[in-house]
Structure 1
């Protein structure tokens, strides 16, 4: 059973009981329908109350059942709602905490609704590329009005119950607990037990003057912000049906559009990302009950852009943090930058003065390692050079208390080699933040061969506290994200040699959906970072070939936005890229120096070469066990590298294209110039032959 049944004062109380959020899966729906029917058949029962156990009334449909037979197995969600609505005895929804999606649709099907203040009310299906599919688009406008309902459904944004008085027959006083809610709902049910006819939202009319003009204005607005996602406009059209159609016709139209959206690539991509984010925190040999270490104080080594951003994460989470620098000037500059960042947020109204003061008070600076020794975690964020990092970790090994976690923010270097500089490699882990660290959602958690399970579990828990998406990577050069982006960047460089200019490559990738193309990304991150890595590669792996164009750019001192110019020019206070003729002439001349006859290159070739370079390297990473699952790679790229969300990440995108098609393109590229860069990953070859995808392994 996934619902409890009891009778209190002649009122049947049905309590949905399917932790954690009482999702309306088949077992829960079945128990709820049986409870309603049992109450209807019991002469001693005068009315019915439906509520939810634990932390929610109901978070909605169980999306794990989407595209499975269970979703269509009776009783469906439609059947549950109809059973409540057609019951001959009053049905009261007693709402608390969370009432979203199918949970709200169930509440709308009840005759009455009472709620605790602060309950989060929403129809968030649009965030999964869907629309409310169980009457939400038809009932909500009938109770809240067209404009309020449309805004809620198109945005998916929650509202507190007390902000929606028209939705509830009674909102209880603040401070009322769950027991008080049930007691009040039973009392309310007894008061209205004899009222007939029973009120049904479906019988109301949507009354909105000049509704067609409002809807047309809304179409224009939604279309301008929906981008590549079809769901917002579909939401609007189904809400419009509540005005123009009879209830049953509107319900049928809603169902038709819901089923259509279920099959769109965009919705599949959003649902993939939804599940991928939850899967990323699961490590097979580190169960959920693994003990974690307390993180009550933190320290960060290095007060540069990255170190300062990392420190802000801790302060934002309410954790005191100390920034350590070697020189007072560098420390003062870092602390001033942090203050300026918070001041900008304060000016935009996104931070209260109280929070501003609290967060700044949590960040202190020091030049003395002795002052950080009692921190529970220390994160090194110094220059990306092994000798520098080894020296830092030797010092940390001396000064940090036993049990402290020693973390490195390295983006490419060997975490095992860094750990070997200490007497406690089990305490060492990689925590690779992405710049700007106080904004970017991704945290690559690098597990060394000696990293303790409790340290890994703690890092995963900390990522959630810092509001990051933590993705676990094994140790290799570049880990998941930067190892793959290296192949992407190599292809971008080769395209310059063969006939492209930076703006064409960037425009093609941005049209595909990337937040920015590879050359704009390089200018933002700093072209000198890649230059340093290529110099290291030339020593460690001289067999790997790169275009020399990026090196020529760096020799001109054009490191990107921080120097006012990189692949593009930048004006003070303006991040817009302006093509630079000197750079473009240099690119053309370099092709001539190589003896390459430049050719026209189509955008399709640009996209295929860059994206499939990611996919092929991702397949190698999966095969080697560096990433636990394909969806982890997708999360890295969706949250850290600007891969288009509506395409679901590189590995999911490859699945939608079809791995045989991806492999055929890679094999064709392997026969051309730079064919050595296109060694097909054995896993890709295997899955293509088996007719499988990366996410169906």
Structure 2
């Protein structure tokens, strides 16, 4: 089936309309690439064709870039030469298009991303729909790549290196007005006039040539070391990239190098250089990991791949949130923003009102940024009723408790709430550590009890950990997933266990940092090594945020419950006791912990740490500490798989990145093991166990996997999607609980 429509009018103008079959949006498939190549040759060879206009037959997009499902399989399957040929083949088609001797215009009637913008840049004239949804950009850096069909060479030649580098390094799309201002497109027009405007131009310009093919062409603003912007663009730019990526992401430095070198070469040599850089990145594990976890598997999770089949879809209109602290207030804000009426309940009216004030402040910030309107602010706030009266919970389809992390307190609110709820309402706990099965014991219908573990700050954190208790029904699980989807968040599903998944893995991270402190390692070295591994916040700093005191309470609760020692957080308990019981330093909320928090100044490591935990004279290499942080979290995740806490490896990877900030370059905790190989990972674990203790011993399940050379991700599953749009923000985890 064809992916292009080809129509020739009486004036000899060919209208080439992209229409990739069986896709809601046009993406660059092998079939489309072949069709484009054939269309270009037809335009070049047929004397009756005087010019051409390229557009899309779909109204929602011009062309949305590459098919990641196809690209993700390259790592380990194709050689560098084969990957180079991929890039060079499409790049050659676009080069043939712009040098075919006939004027070609792009009528861009929707978003044009990645290869879509590269196709447009190869055209001699570009007119873009004057519609906020018709964004253009080169987001390849988000999946560990650089544009491989001319983007790193045509864009700088068109608008200058200084203007092009931010688009290439951030991957952020630009709106139509900005695209016109930058010079990426020549004109804007209403969608129904695009083709006519493009046709008029090609008829008025029978001889068309790209600027870079004109003798004497110079890149705007200059190129190379002597360009006025060279120090800022390349020297300072390299430092900024190194600081932002901790040298864990190869794409940004490759983009800088490709632009620096390529803009000093003739265009044809520059395009070959670009394909070489592209091939190197495409064959890297970082690229595969980013594509698989952050886009393909996240897309599957967002489409509720774990939702039980056969359960009718639920839409929530009224929910209750018990506990108006930071977590409860954040949940209420997220729900109200999604159009849901919320009963926000606490022990006193002052506490309930304070919880609603959280939404007031959050909406005011949105208003100041012009990201919302006063009418929307008023509407959202009108959906939140702050109260102390449990009777308002009548009619709620779902209630989420977010009260103090103590079993007796939670049992009390569960009893009060369920006495008023209808028989179909479900109840959810936001607990981060207490087993769901134990909490559900006081619910009259435990099959309607589920865990919904949000992360702080709720409005910014994309993840919700959905915990299936031993009695949770398939219908309740499906409803919980529907609720998370309604909040426009990404769910993972885990089975009931002390600490579930994210809290268990997070615990190993902060405990390892505190264990290093007890070993006499410099506190600053600990924090820096963690950030160099790709963690957004050092373990001591994040422990301060969630409070050191909480670590002690988790330990005490585990001991009181008679849990196995592996759940008692013994690795760092002596450090916790010293800080909390001996020094009275409980964390940021208590005025100080591992850090001091002076008024109107940046936080700084508490100087007393070096005396309390005697710093040894010889310090380890940073790479050793970096490895410990990455390995201990991956190892705990492998244990969760072995124990049946996690069923889907994709959920473990997404949970670790979106929930607790495990580095995206690794693809998540289980992808990290797959990337380096189970056999090597086990060898690393055993060496670490010899040096640092039993906590690094690998589980039998992982050893057995290594014997079979088995991977956690045997194949890439998910949905076919295009290269994403949106601002490239650091992928950080939040605070649990």
TM-score, length-normalised on structure 1?
A: 0.87
What's the counterpart of residue 198 of structure 1? 208
Deviation at 1:408, TM superposition (A): 1.5
What's the counterpart of residue 18 of structure 2? 15
What's the counterpart of residue 703 of structure 2? 685
Distance 1:263 1:44 in 2: 43
What's the counterpart of residue 729 of structure 2? none
1:663 aligns with 2:682: yes
* Alpha-carbon displacement from aligned partner over 1:656-691 (angstroms, at most 9, x marks no partner): 44332321232234446642x344222321232334
Tell me if the contact between 2:221 and 2:228 (Cα under 8 Å) persists in the aligned partners.
Answer: no
1:541 aligns with 2:563: yes
1:30 aligns with 2:56: no
* Alpha-carbon displacement from aligned partner over 1:597-632 (angstroms, at most 9, x marks no partner): 999655444444443222222112123342233342
Cα distance, 1:102–1:191 mapped onto 2, change above 3 Å: closer
Deviation at 1:124, TM superposition (A): 1.0
Tell me if the contact between 1:620 and 1:682 (Cα under 8 Å) persists in the aligned partners.
Answer: no
Q: Map of 1:40-79 to 2, 5 A cutoff?
A: 47-52=51-56, 53=58, 55-66=60-71, 67=74, 72=85, 76-79=89-92
Deviation at 1:426, TM superposition (A): 4.3
Which range moved further: 564-573 or 189-198?
Answer: 189-198
* DSSP-derived class of the 2:469 partner: coil
Which range moved further: 276-285 or 346-355?
Answer: 346-355
Deviation at 1:568, TM superposition (A): 3.1
**Paired residue for 1:578, among 605, 609, 612?**
605
**Paired residue for 1:92, among 102, 105, 113?**
105
Deviation at 1:420, TM superposition (A): 4.3
* Alpha-carbon displacement from aligned partner over 1:19-73 (angstroms, at most 9, x marks no partner): 2432101122223334555666777766544333253211112233332669656
What's the counterpart of residue 150 of structure 1? 165
Q: Map of 1:627-638 to 2, 5 A cutoff?
A: 627-638=646-657
Which runs of 5 or more structure 1 residues have no equivalent in the other structure?
592-596
Deviation at 1:147, TM superposition (A): 3.4
* Alpha-carbon displacement from aligned partner over 1:305-357 (angstroms, at most 9, x marks no partner): 11112222223334332311121122233233443444456557766655544
What's the counterpart of residue 463 of structure 2? 442
Tell me if the contact between 2:4 and 2:32 (Cα under 8 Å) persists in the aligned partners.
Answer: no
* Alpha-carbon displacement from aligned partner over 1:96-141 (angstroms, at most 9, x marks no partner): 2310000111122234333311211001112223211101122223
What's the counterpart of residue 296 of structure 2? 275
Cα distance, 1:300–1:220 mapped onto 2, change above 3 Å: farther
Tell me if the contact between 1:447 and 1:472 (Cα under 8 Å) persists in the aligned partners.
Answer: yes
* Alpha-carbon displacement from aligned partner over 1:261-290 (angstroms, at most 9, x marks no partner): 334454444334333422434666637896
* Alpha-carbon displacement from aligned partner over 1:496-537 (angstroms, at most 9, x marks no partner): 444446444333323333222222211110122221110121
Q: Map of 1:329-368 to 2, 5 A cutoff?
A: 329-343=350-364, 356-368=377-389
Cα distance, 1:200–1:685 mapped onto 2, change above 3 Å: same
**Paired residue for 1:113, among 121, 126, 132?**
126
Distance 1:155 1:302 in 2: 39
Tell me if the contact between 2:121 and 2:154 (Cα under 8 Å) persists in the aligned partners.
Answer: yes
* DSSP-derived class of the 1:213 partner: coil
* Alpha-carbon displacement from aligned partner over 1:631-675 (angstroms, at most 9, x marks no partner): 422222222223233343333333344332321232234446642
Distance 1:15 1:84 in 2: 15
* Alpha-carbon displacement from aligned partner over 1:391-420 (angstroms, at most 9, x marks no partner): 322333232345444221111222233344
Q: Map of 1:232-251 to 2, 5 A cutoff?
A: 232-241=252-261, 243-251=263-271
Q: Map of 1:167-182 to 2, 5 A cutoff?
A: 167-173=184-190, 176=191, 180=192
Tell me if the contact between 2:595 and 2:605 (Cα under 8 Å) persists in the aligned partners.
Answer: yes
Deviation at 1:462, TM superposition (A): 4.2
Which runs of 5 or more structure 2 residues have no equivalent in the other structure?
716-737
Cα distance, 1:352–1:125 mapped onto 2, change above 3 Å: same
Cα distance, 1:577–1:28 mapped onto 2, change above 3 Å: same
Which range moved further: 686-695 or 158-167?
Answer: 686-695
Cα distance, 1:648–1:307 mapped onto 2, change above 3 Å: same
Distance 2:305 2:296 in 1: 16
Tell me if the contact between 1:489 and 1:518 (Cα under 8 Å) persists in the aligned partners.
Answer: yes
**Paired residue for 1:303, among 319, 324, 335?**
324
1:432 aligns with 2:459: no
Distance 1:444 1:292 in 2: 19
What's the counterpart of residue 115 of structure 2? 102
What's the counterpart of residue 123 of structure 1? 138
Distance 1:279 1:496 in 2: 40
- The answer to which structure, 1 or 2, has the higher relative contact order (CA under 8 A, 6+ apart) is 2
Tell me if the contact between 2:104 and 2:202 (Cα under 8 Å) persists in the aligned partners.
Answer: no
Which range moved further: 615-624 or 570-579?
Answer: 570-579
C-alpha RMSD over aligned residues: 3.4
Tell me if the contact between 1:7 and 1:45 (Cα under 8 Å) persists in the aligned partners.
Answer: no
What's the counterpart of residue 594 of structure 1? none
1:185 aligns with 2:185: no
What's the counterpart of residue 3 of structure 1? 3
1:653 aligns with 2:672: yes
Cα distance, 1:2–1:442 mapped onto 2, change above 3 Å: farther
* DSSP-derived class of the 2:457 partner: coil
Cα distance, 1:388–1:189 mapped onto 2, change above 3 Å: same
What's the counterpart of residue 550 of structure 1? 576
- Alignment coverage as a number of residue pairs: 681
Deviation at 1:90, TM superposition (A): 4.6
What's the counterpart of residue 508 of structure 1? 529
TM-score, length-normalised on structure 2?
A: 0.83
What's the counterpart of residue 517 of structure 1? 538
Distance 1:28 1:288 in 2: 34
**Paired residue for 1:641, among 660, 677, 680?**
660
Tell me if the contact between 1:56 and 1:96 (Cα under 8 Å) persists in the aligned partners.
Answer: yes
* Alpha-carbon displacement from aligned partner over 1:438-484 (angstroms, at most 9, x marks no partner): 22232212233444545444544544553433222121111111122
1:208 aligns with 2:220: yes
Cα distance, 1:169–1:288 mapped onto 2, change above 3 Å: farther
Tell me if the contact between 2:597 and 2:604 (Cα under 8 Å) persists in the aligned partners.
Answer: yes
